[in-house]
Every structure is written in structure tokens, then in C-alpha cells.
Structure 1
Amino acid sequence: MLIRQESVDSKTALKDLPGISPLASANLVLVFGSIKRFNEGKLQGFLKSRYPTAQVVGCTTSGEISPNGVFDDSIQITAIQWEKTVQRVAQTKMSGMQSSFEAAAGLAKQLKADTLRTVLVISDGLNVNGSELLKGFQSVLGDIPIVGGLAGDGGAFVKTLQLYNDTVSDNLVIAVGLYGNALITASGALGGWKPYGPPRTVTKSEKNVVFEMDGKPALPLYRMYIGEAFSKGLPGTGLKFPLAVIEEGKRDVEKIRTLLAIDTKNNSLTFAGNVEEGETVRLCQTNHDRLVDGAGAAANLVMDGLSANKTNQTGLALCVSCVGRKGVMAELVGDEIKLVQQILGPQTSLTGFYSYGELAPRPNTTDSVLHNQTMTIGYLSENLLA
């Protein structure tokens, strides 16, 4: 596995990169950047000429992750050349949020094979139900690990864009299937959020829209807990007050839901993933140190998962963290990336983005779920002796 990375910061352009591609023979190129950068129009052609044999996939973000920290309004390019692993890329354009399950199931059918080991997913961040998207993949693939995330647009919540070879568009779902026994994978996902306030039972919901909690309209109840000052900034300020789904028998909070939208007419809350009727929820809050500790714990889960494969070989960590975490940590957001890099080691290249939803298995399982407000890490490497 060969990895080469290129970075274009907010003050430079694609043309400022060296004239020669660092890995022209790459099979896969991951690209993460801002809405402004993806709208420049020359991105697709530039990348295809620079990496002529690669499948190029990526998305817009609410912050780009690199080994050097977190950037805004940049382009982060990671070129990968597999030596023994086989890849297959599929993509589709959704007709709307209601088609999330069907879109994913269709992609999964294209990728399904006995040798499939993991799937990387990059999706539109606003016109999708992330929970239904995962259910669609899992209806065909079973418990194959799925990692990735939902695109961002800098926290504007207006429009996200996805990149697939020559196409830049919204409403795309892109899936990369990776095959063969040479592939080494591991994952980690933890948040660092602390529930507060009394538990509430969801008494009326429809997939990712919550209408009532404890028989009371959801929006006024939510506003009461976050206070008048934060209520004025909804839905954006809701990033700092996600819902924790309290699962029976779980010591730690493993499932968190980010607020995406409010409906004052129906007094409802729309979240990035499903919140089922009968589930118990609590509001969450956090601070910088808890979030950084959560990211470090996610990286340690990756190291634990590698066990016998924990060597100094080249690896890639796809880090997808939530825009809500970035909002809390502000200018110190790079601290969580520094800690992840420190734990995974210099032989592991980091890439990724701040998102509107993160896809990764629960800790110590292959059961992938939609996370919100979580640092998720999908680790990839190759065993060339396999």
C-alpha cells in the first residue's frame, strides 16, 4: 500500500502544486474540501490528469482533516495505490431523503461478493437519512463493516457536494468496496458527550423526526432545556446540544443524534438519524477536554482492533468527526487530530473531514451505525504476505 498526500490551503491554488503527480499510478484518490473549492470548476479535470488511473471520490466538508491538523477552505488529497487489495466503486443519485434505503441497497448489490471486507461510504449530508442509508447497505451486505460519513457545507446547512471522477453534484451516495484477505481493517468510534437533565421517552416520531417526548411537543421542550439565548440560534446552536439515545445495558453513550432542522408549525425536531418511538433520550453537553479524550479513546480502539497487525507498516486512517465537535472546540479543534495522530503513529496517514453524520461500527463490533457528535476512525492497511 502506497500513500501520497497533497494539501492546498486557503491561500493557494491547485496550480501551485508541483507539476509532477506524487503517485500517478494510484488506484483510489480521496478528496475533501470546502464548498468554494468544489465550485471552482477545474477540480475534476485537474485530479483526473494528475491521477489518470484512479477512481476519484470525495465531498465537501465543515472542516478538512490532515496529518497537520484541521483546515477550512482547503483541498486535502490522498492518493492510494493498493498492492494486493481489489476495489470496486459504485455511486447513485438519490431522488430525496425518502430514497435513502433503496439507494444504498442498490449500491450494495453492485458491491456484494464473498471476498468483500469493508465499504467506504461518502454521502450527501442534507438530503439523506443516514440511519436508513445504513439499513439499506446492511439489508444486502449483513455485518460487513461500513465507514465514512455525510458531507458538510461549513455549517451552513444549505447544500453539500460530492465528487465522483468527472462529476460534482449534490444528492450522490458513493461506495467503495474493498476486497481480499490482504486488507487489514480496524475502527474506533467514541464521542465524549455527557447527558444531563431527566430521561425522556420519545412518544411520537417518524424515522428521524421527533414530534413528542413524554407526550409533550418536542420543540418547546428542547428550547426549555437549552435556554432562550441558544434557542434564538436554532437549528445551528443545536449542534452544541445533541440527544443521547440511552440504550439498555450500555454503560457508555454509543448513539448520539445531531439536530438538523426545526419545524415551528409542527413543533418537531429533525435529526441526522432515526430516533424511534419508545426510545429513551437525554440532552447532552460537553467541553474541549472530554471531546479530545473521546477522540483519543477512538484511536485506542483502532490500536486494540489491530492486535497482531499492530506494526510499523503503512496505514491510512479515515477520520470523520462531527461539525458539532468543531463548534465546541473552536480554534482548538486540532487538538483531537493531534492526539489521534500521536496514538496511531507517524506510519499512519490521516485524512477525513468534519461531517453531518459519521458511519462506523460500534466499539469492538462489526455492527455499523450512524453516529453523530462522534470521532470515528476507519483504519486501512495491507498485509503483503497474505
Structure 2
Amino acid sequence: MLHQGPETVDRQAPRFVTISVSRQTEARAAVDEALRGIDVADSCFLLAFVPDGLSLDDVARALAEGGDGIPVFGCSTAGTITSLGYETEALLLLAFPREHFRCASMLISPLNPLSMERIAADVRNHATRFRRTAGRNRLALIFADGMSKQEDLLVATLEAALGEVPIFGGSAGDSLAFKETFVLQNGQCHSNAALLLLLETDLEFSGLGFDHFLPTEEQLVVTEALPEERLVREINGVPAALEYARLVGCPVEHLSPEIFAENPMLVRQKANYHVRAIHEASADHTLSFLGAIDDGLILTLGRGKAIIETLEAGLTVRNPRGAEPDFVLGFDCVLRKLEIEQKQLSAEVSEIFSRHRVFGFNTYGEQHCGVHVNQTFVGVAFFEPERREIS
């Protein structure tokens, strides 16, 4: 079921999740409108992705009061992906039906300082208590405070603790303010925290993860860093922002999120390159990153491929029987959105998202199977359950 408030988009709606959207600018009005599109009695839980223009505290209270006790999880965002594609001011609710989903939530707090041993033990206990159902598939979702600077250690810890259960997720945002972000659990907002959801479903699913960058020949070495703050002071023995600006051919005073989005740093892990995005250059020429950084780290300057073609190819997935996904839960980096807007491709990208039934939010970082990445689209494609013959 798909509900778009006053302007319904008549596309083929997903069958195994209900989508409801409100563009009201007051929290309670937005929640009331969005909840009218959902049968809460039929729902196992809701995901709420909240735009920066709405008070998350007010949204959380309104959902708790109006949701008839249904569990609600989610986070603040840097934009949502609705049935219309990219939006900046829309409240998005996704209702997962009881018939096809089970869920168990766990709040992880504090993130900073992060105790890997305690978190691993708590997660293993949480997974043990969430008893398996024969014939069902299991996955995990993680929503983390995007300003905690702990997602790298967190997701590695979760992967070790959960073993074969794949983990997908995104870091909460606040548009591009980079001040304070929150996760939401049952009427309460939390900073310096992460929310882990274990899901069990009879739907088939497939994880997605792709970016649109290729490595260049230009390599750099981090020669002075503050790893705990994700700050780089020097690259190649030169003040970091000055060296980066020289390499990308931009005056240092003109460095901006748009420049960073189009000229990312890549880190090689085995045969793969992952983006280590820059989000700010300080007056002292320090660069602030959205992913783990350390002294001696070798970085490679990235070069963009055609973003439309990589997006279309990445979302064109099928299950073993050749069927398209019923829907895709998507976590898309806000720096990708910035680049897309800069290139005036928003309408084309939104059409692709809408056609592939992608719903989710713009993030400050993405988590994909044990790795925290940037400037990447991460998602979970859900497919209709395989029909089993009854003997």
C-alpha cells in the first residue's frame, strides 16, 4: 500500500510494506496525516525517517500517542526518499506487516566512548533471545548517530557479534548542519547512540552497495591525523586542505561540500575501494572526514563515473527466479545527493528511485556488511516470498 497524503502517485505500489508520507510543516499535523495511511493493527513495526525541518522529539511523542502501541524506530535525516524520489521536507513512514516480519530492537549507548567487548556481548545476547523461526530469513538494520564518529568500530563489532547475519544501515543526519543527530526508539530520541534492529522475514532479500567512483593515479599519504576526531592535519607533509585543493585544482578558499562530493578520497581494502568522504575544511587547513582516518593511511583521489548509469545498473537486481524486488529500503549518502543536485540530475534520479520503488533516507554515512562507507548507496531489496508447495 502507498499513501502520499494529499497527492497520491499512481505507480505500482509495493505489496509487502506500506508507505505513507506527509509534507506538513508542524510535527503533530505531519504525524497525524502520515498515520492515516497506515493500518497499525496489521503492522509489526514502523520506520520513521524525519526531515530536519520537523522536531524529532515532537514527532516521536506524536507517533507514540497516535500509534496505538506499535513499535516505532527511525532517525533524523539529511532528506528522505519517498515515492517521488528525493525530498527534503517530507516525513516518511514505512509500516512492515506482521504477516511477513518479526523485529527485535536494541539501543546501543553510549557510542563514544565505545566499548567493543560490552557491545559484542550485549548483541550476542540480544540475538540469542530473538528466537529463530524455521524457514525465515534474518538480517540486521543499524541506525547510528551520524555525529558520533564511531560507526567504523561499531559496524565491525556488530559483524563479529552477529556472524552470518548481514547488516545494513545509515548514519542519522541533520541536513548539512553537522551539529546534532538522533535515533528514535519507541517515543524516545537518543544522541550518542545507535539502534540495532534484528529482522526476520519470509521475504527473500538481497543487499545492495555501490558508488560511482574509480581510483585515479593520484595517491596521497596522511602524515598527521587525529583519528578519534576523524581530522587530517597534513597530507604529503603539507597542510591537508592546501594539498587537497592543489590536487583537485581548486583555490583552497573555494573548497565546499560540492567540491568534496565530486572529488572524494578512496581507501583500498583488499581488491575494493571505499570512499572516505570529506565534509569540511577548517580555517587552519584541517580536513574533517566522515569515516575512519589514521596516520600513514594511503588515500587515492577518486574520479567519478556516470552517476545515472551506475544508479540504474545498481538497482536493476533480480532474485533467482528473475523477479524484480517488491521494494528497496535505501540509505543514500547526502553527498551523492549534493553532487546530483549540482549536476541538475535530481529529477532523473528521483524518477529512477520511484520506478524501482526505493524508500529510505539521505545519510551521513552508510553501513554495508561490516564496513562503514561514504558517498555510497546501500540498500536491501526485498522480494516476494517463494511459494512453497504444501504436501
Compute the TM-score of the two structures, normalised by the length of structure 1. Answer: 0.81
CA distance in 1, matches of 2:353, 2:203: 21
Please state if 1:224 is matched with 2:246: yes
How far did 1:140 drift? 1.0
Deviation at 1:350, TM superposition (A): 2.8
Q: SS in structure 2 opposite 1:88? A: strand
For 2:115 and 2:22, the matched residues in 1 are separated by 33
Out of 267, 273, 283, the residue aligned to residue 245 of structure 1 is 267
* Separation in 2, partners of 1:167, 1:15: 15
Cα offset, 1:144, TM superposition: 2.2
Residue 37 (structure 1) shift? 0.9
Unaligned runs of 5+ in 2: 1-14
Pairs within 5 Å for 1:22-37: 22-25=38-41, 26-37=43-54
Who is 1:6 aligned against? 20
Conserved in 2, the CA contact under 8 Å of 1:100 and 1:130? no
Query: Partners of 1:341 and 1:53 in 2: how far apart?
Result: 31
Q: In the alignment, is the contact (CA less than 8 A) between 1:118 and 1:178 conserved in 2?
A: yes
Distance 1:43 1:248, change over 3 A: closer
* Corresponding letter in the other structure for 2:334: V
Distance 1:202 1:238 in 2: 17
Q: CA deviation at 1:247?
A: 4.4
Report the Cα offset of residue 24 of structure 1.
1.3
Q: In 2, Cα distance between the equivalents of 1:227 and 1:107? A: 48
TM-fit CA distance, 1:195? 3.8
- The 8 Å contact of residues 299 and 377 in structure 1, kept in 2 or not, is answered as no
State the Cα deviation string for residues 315-352 of structure 1 (Å, max 9, x = none): 3311111111111111532433422443x4xxxx4321
**Measured at CA, do residues 277 and 145 of structure 1 come closer, stay the same or move farther in structure 2, by a change above 3 Å?**
farther
Alpha-carbon distance, 1:353 to partner = 0.9
For 1:377, the equivalent position in structure 2 comes to: 379
CA contact (8 A) 2:52 2:76 kept: yes
In the alignment, structure 1 residue 356 sits paired with structure 2 residue 343: no
Structure 2 CA distance for partners of 1:103 and 1:355, relative to 1, 3 Å: farther
Secondary structure at the counterpart of residue 87 of structure 1:
strand
Q: Is the 8 A contact 2:16 2:97 kept in 1?
A: yes
C-alpha separation between the residues in 1 aligned to 2:312 and 2:119? Answer: 31
Deviation at 1:194, TM superposition (A): 3.9
**Distance in structure 1 (CA, Å) of the matches to 2:118 and 2:286:** 26
Q: How does 1:32-51 map to 2 (within 5 A)?
A: 32-39=49-56, 41-51=57-67
Q: How far does residue 213 in structure 1 lie from its aligned partner after superposition? A: 3.7
SS in 2 for 1:36: coil
Provide the residue aligned with 1:89 in structure 2: 105
Residue type at the aligned position of 1:311 = A
What per-residue deviation string (whole Å, max 9, x for no partner) do you get for residues 275-324 of structure 1?
Answer: 3555432223537xx22222223213xx24x223x436x73311111111
Which of residues 317, 323, 343 is equivalent to 1:311? 323
**How has the CA–CA distance of structure 1 residues 210 and 204 changed in structure 2, closer, same or farther, with 3 Å as cutoff?**
same
1: distance between equivalents of 2:258 and 2:178? 8
- SS of 2:17's equivalent? strand
Indicate yes or no: 2:205 matched with 1:185: yes
Asked if structure 2 preserves the Cα contact closer than 8 Å seen for 1:360 and 1:378, the reply is no
Query: Residue 339 of structure 1 corresponds to which residue in structure 2?
Result: 352
* SS in structure 2 at match of 1:282: strand
Which amino acid in the other structure matches residue 221 of structure 2? T
**Partner AA of 1:45 in structure 2:** R
- Deviation, structure 1 residue 130: 1.9
Q: Superposition pairs for residues 58-69 of structure 1, below 5 Å?
A: 58-69=74-85
Counterparts of 1:107-126 in structure 2, within 5 Å, are 108-113=123-128, 115=132, 117-126=138-147
Structure-2 separation of matches of 1:297 and 1:100: 39
Counterpart of 1:37 in 2: which secondary structure? coil
Amino acid paired to 1:51: G
Over 3 Å counting, the alpha-carbon distance change for 1:215 and 1:68 in structure 2 is same
What RMSD, in angstroms, separates the aligned Cα atoms of the two structures? Answer: 3.1
For these two proteins, the number of residue pairs brought into alignment is 361
Q: Does 1:282 align with 2:300?
A: yes
Whole-angstrom CA distance in 2 between matches of 1:23 and 1:229: 54
Q: Which runs of 5+ in 1 are unaligned?
A: 362-367
1:359 Cα shift? 1.3
Q: Flag the 1:95–1:146 CA change in 2: closer, same or farther, 3 A.
A: closer
Q: What is the distance in 1 between the residues matched to 2:249 and 2:122?
A: 43
Q: Aligned in 2, Cα 1:315/1:81: closer, same or farther, shift over 3 Å?
A: same
Partner in structure 2 of residue 364 of structure 1 = none
Residue 339 of structure 1 aligns with an amino acid whose one-letter code is: I
Q: Is the 8 A contact 1:360 1:376 kept in 2?
A: yes
Pair 100,198 (structure 1): closer, same or farther in 2 beyond 3 Å = farther
The CA distance in 2 between the partners of 1:172 and 1:329, in whole Å, is 30
